[in-house]
């Protein structure tokens, strides 16, 4: 028998078998058939697992050994103002410096310390600086794509505050854990806790619990009671979500977490039940004072730009508060000035002191360029007097200014008037019944309201128009045909068109016949942006307020929106033609004063609680809304008799004056 080099011996005599090649690993497994041939044996599983454990242990040992506690803290020495710029690059506002002041731990009442520990890390004084279960949970959340917050001890959070960044990644989390273990071995627990309390962000520009006590309660940290301490501890979970001054949702979250923290203090034995019973009323923090540099419209602009940065970049609110950012906005100073002047001029006759119908009047307005840039807005009379931004509210129904959306949806999707029947196209000349009080129909018959009555159309002034084309209904603001068109198209399809045009889901009204005539509540910003699609051949870009951002001159990433084709060009062209027809000879003839080739649409509501004027000149789309409401509960009040007007004066009269004055002032700029 002769052996081949590199192989097993071959058969060279009758009756002798050739030897099989020797395999070091019996895989796929010999002597097995089917799926079992590919299933590893328990010995193979143990070998692979053992090798994996050894490799992982070796890598972790190397990582632990080579990861050092940094010599330098994240520097607070570079704290400085954030500077906001107008679109032309000139300075708009310079917003304050970060407040930070260290205090020794013995200045912090023990009950306040334990409010923080009960909320964040009750085992702080006994753990080794990390929590194995917390790390495992955080790693699993990162791997599974879930919430990346949580899972950290006080020591880990301190490490993140002073040594690392806020980015949520596996490597950062492992570095945090290793440094926390080493730091826990090097520093005393009280020193770590003091460092954590002095370096954490509490919102309102405040780093450290001493400045937080001043920002929220106007007192020294040593004067805080357990209830106030529990609220400040709640802020550590995210001041942007728990500062009650930022809105009712925040207030609800803050109160719930405050109460939970006090209960946790009882559970861990740091607050008696008798003392807990004393704290049943939420300790309302004082209102946040506003910088004098934010007066007039500037505060609304800065708030909007800051919100955009926080939602479209990786910069956290805490990082923004450290300062040093240069934020270049889309706001055009001459247009902002012109819009405020137009509101001032149009509301000269408003007299809330002597006329009941003029009380609680609110005006909101926004101008948006075809590429989505918000170039101007009017948020209210003065940011320092009213921080609520009327241009960005989503509580005011848009009324009949919504009907061009229904028209666009009908032209692009057709109608279905019989259940199971084919969808048929409609055109601008398709006739509809324009009389007042016509039964609203579904494919099954009349639409019955919740009151047990058939829902009927309602035109402004209860006017009967007879048979009108859809285009004429848009031009003349005949609401009945557009309400019925919405039913024929399908309210869910109309809703989809509205969403494509940029109206936000939480502003959409209930899908009932009134949906077609504007029971939705989009902001003036979103409404103006939606109308840009009619002027731009169906092309639209989400509104944005920041062009770019840098920190100490170095550019930072900012996610800007891109243009999307949301309507067929031919459909957008038909809507554009109807809106221009409205200005030439329809319900928006008031707009002719602002210049040539304008498109516009007034908007009113059946209950007379809102008035709108929306339109564009090709370079700019502008929406103006007026309403009366107490900002505490946002309950809308009637506009009838506003400014001493006759009862039959359209509620769109005031916003139309504002729109015309402004658009005339800015012209084609």
Give the separation between CA 6 and CA 12, rounded to whole angstroms: 17
Tokens of 235: 């802020």
Give domain 98-276's CATH number out of 1.10.10.10, 3.40.50.300, 3.40.1180.10, 1.10.3810.10. 1.10.3810.10
Q: Domain boundaries in the chain?
A: 98-276, 402-520
Neighbouring C-beta atoms of residue 488, cutoff 10 Å: 24
- Residues 561-581: tens digit of each pLDDT: 999 999 999 999 999 999 999
pLDDT at 152 over 90: no
User: For residue 179, what pLDDT is reported?
Assistant: 74
Name the range with the highest mean pLDDT among 33-37, 72-76, 274-278, 571-575.
571-575
- Residues 434-473: tens digit of each pLDDT: 999 999 999 999 999 999 999 999 999 899 999 999 999 9
pLDDT at 613 over 70: yes
- Only one residue has tokens 């408003």, namely 350
Give the separation between CA 244 and CA 286, rounded to whole angstroms: 10
What residue spans of 91-188 are helical by DSSP H? 110-120, 132-144, 154-162, 170-186
Confidence category of residue 291, pLDDT binned at 50, 70, 90: confident
More confident residue, 86 or 668: 86
Q: Which of 53-57, 167-171, 242-246, 423-427 has the lowest mean pLDDT?
A: 167-171
More confident residue, 515 or 183: 515
Q: Report the alpha-carbon angle 20-26-29, nearest 5.
A: 95
Give the separation between CA 307 and CA 291, rounded to whole angstroms: 17
pLDDT at 53 over 60: yes
Give the separation between CA 260 and CA 294, rounded to whole angstroms: 36
For the purposes of burial, counting CB atoms within 10 Å of the CB of 77, is it exposed (0-12), middle (13-18) or buried (19 or more)?
exposed
User: For residue 583, what pLDDT is reported?
Assistant: 97
pLDDT at 662 over 70: yes
What is the average pLDDT value for the chain, to the nearest integer? 86
More confident residue, 75 or 420: 420
Residue 446 DSSP SS3: strand
In order of 84, 96, 101, 322, the CA distances from 79 in angstroms are 16, 10, 13, 5
- Residues 263-281: tens digit of each pLDDT: 999 999 999 999 999 999 9
- Residues 332-368: tens digit of each pLDDT: 999 999 999 999 999 999 999 999 999 999 999 999 9
Give the torsion sign (CA, 576, 582, 583, 588). negative
Selection from 266, 142, 245, 156 nearest residue 202 by Cα? 245
Confidence category of residue 166, pLDDT binned at 50, 70, 90: very low
pLDDT at 71 over 60: no
- Residues 178-232: tens digit of each pLDDT: 676 777 667 788 988 998 898 888 988 888 899 899 899 999 999 999 999 999 9
User: For residue 156, what pLDDT is reported?
Assistant: 79
What is the reported pTM?
Answer: 0.74
- Residues 167-181: tens digit of each pLDDT: 444 455 566 676 767
pLDDT at 70 over 60: no
Report helix, strand and coil shares of the chain as percent, to nearest 5: 45, 15, 40
Give the separation between CA 345 and CA 144, rounded to whole angstroms: 57
């Amino acid at each position: 028998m002769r052996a081949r080099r590199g192989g097993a011996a071959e058969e060279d005599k009758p009756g002798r078998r050739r030897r099989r090649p020797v395999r070091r690993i019996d895989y796929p497994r010999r002597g097995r058939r089917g799926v079992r041939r590919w299933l590893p044996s328990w010995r193979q599983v143990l070998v692979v697992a053992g090798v994996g454990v050894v490799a992982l242990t070796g890598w972790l040992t190397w990582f632990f050994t080579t990861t050092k506690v940094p010599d330098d803290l994240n520097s607070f020495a570079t704290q400085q103002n954030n500077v906001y710029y107008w679109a032309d690059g000139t300075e708009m506002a310079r917003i304050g410096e970060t407040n930070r002041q260290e205090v020794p731990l013995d200045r912090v009442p023990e009950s306040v310390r334990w409010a923080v520990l009960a909320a964040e890390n009750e085992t702080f004084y006994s753990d080794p600086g990390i929590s194995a279960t917390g790390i495992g949970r955080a790693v699993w959340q990162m791997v599974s794509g879930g919430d990346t917050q949580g899972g950290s001890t006080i020591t880990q959070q301190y490490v993140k505050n002073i040594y690392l960044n806020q980015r949520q990644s596996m490597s950062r989390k492992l570095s945090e854990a290793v440094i926390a273990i080493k730091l826990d071995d090097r520093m005393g627990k009280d020193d770590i806790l003091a460092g954590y309390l002095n370096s954490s962000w509490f919102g309102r520009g405040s780093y450290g619990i001493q400045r937080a006590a001043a920002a929220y309660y106007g007192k020294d940290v040593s004067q805080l009671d357990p209830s106030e301490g529990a609220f400040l501890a709640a802020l550590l979970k995210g001041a942007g979500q728990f500062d009650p001054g930022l809105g009712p949702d925040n207030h609800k979250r803050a109160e719930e977490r405050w109460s939970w923290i006090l209960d946790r203090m009882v559970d861990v034995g740091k607050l008696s039940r008798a003392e807990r019973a004393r704290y049943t009323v939420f300790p309302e923090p004082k209102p946040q004072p506003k910088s004098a540099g934010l007066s007039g419209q500037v505060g609304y602009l800065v708030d909007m730009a800051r919100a955009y940065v926080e939602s479209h970049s990786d910069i956290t609110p805490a990082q923004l508060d450290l300062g040093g950012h240069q934020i270049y906005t889309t706001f055009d100073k001459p247009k902002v000035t012109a819009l405020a002047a137009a509101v001032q001029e149009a509301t000269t006759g408003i007299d809330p002191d002597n006329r009941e119908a003029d009380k609680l009047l609110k005006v909101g307005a926004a101008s948006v360029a075809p590429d989505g840039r918000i170039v101007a807005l009017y948020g209210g009379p003065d940011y320092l007097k009213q921080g609520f931004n009327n241009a960005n509210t989503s509580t005011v129904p848009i009324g009949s200014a919504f009907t061009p959306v229904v028209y666009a949806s009908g032209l692009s999707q057709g109608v279905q008037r019989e259940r199971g029947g084919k969808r048929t196209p409609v055109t601008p000349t398709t006739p509809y019944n324009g009389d007042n009080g016509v039964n609203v129909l579904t494919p099954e018959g009349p639409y019955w309201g919740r009151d047990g009555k058939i829902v009927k159309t309602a035109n402004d002034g209860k006017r009967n128009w007879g048979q009108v084309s859809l285009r004429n209904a848009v031009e003349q603001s005949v609401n009945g045909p557009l309400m019925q068109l919405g039913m024929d198209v399908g309210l869910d399809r109309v809703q989809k068109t509205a969403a494509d045009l940029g109206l936000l889901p939480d502003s959409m009204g209930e899908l009932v016949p009134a949906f077609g005539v504007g029971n939705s509540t989009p902001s003036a910003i979103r409404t103006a942006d939606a109308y840009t699609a009619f002027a731009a051949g169906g092309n639209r870009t989400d509104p944005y307020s920041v062009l770019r951002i840098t920190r100490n001159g170095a550019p930072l990433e900012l996610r800007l929106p891109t243009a999307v084709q949301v309507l067929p060009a031919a459909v957008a062209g038909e809507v554009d033609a109807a809106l221009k027809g409205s200005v030439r000879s329809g319900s928006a003839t008031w707009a002719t004063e602002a210049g040539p080739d304008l498109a516009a649409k007034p908007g009113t509501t059946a209950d007379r609680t809102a008035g709108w004027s929306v339109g564009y000149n090709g370079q700019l789309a502008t929406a103006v809304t007026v309403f009366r409401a107490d900002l505490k509960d946002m309950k809308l009040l009637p506009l009838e008799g506003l400014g001493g007007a006759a009862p039959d004066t359209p509620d769109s009269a005031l916003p139309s004056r504002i729109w015309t004055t402004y658009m005339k002032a800015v012209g084609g700029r």
